[in-house]
Amino acid sequence: MATSLQSARQNARLSSIKSAMNNSIRAAEIYFYENSRYSYDAFCSSTITQDVIANINSNGGKAACYVSLYTGTDYRVELKSVDWAISALFNNRYYTVNSTSGVKVFDTANLSTTNWTNANTACRNQRKLLASPSQLRTLYLVGTTAGTNRTPTGFSNSSTGYW
List the domain boundaries for the chain: 2-145
> How many CB atoms are located within 10 Å of the residue 149 CB?
6
User: For residue 61, what is the DSSP state?
Assistant: -
pLDDT tens digits, one per residue of 13-62: 999 999 999 999 998 888 888 875 667 878 899 998 999 999 999 999 99
Nearest to 62 by CA among 138, 123, 156: 138
Of residues 18 and 161, which shows the higher confidence score? 18
Sheet holding 93-98, edge to edge: 62-69, 82-90, 93-98, 101-106
Phi-psi region of 38 (alpha: psi -120 to 50; beta: other; left: phi over 0): left
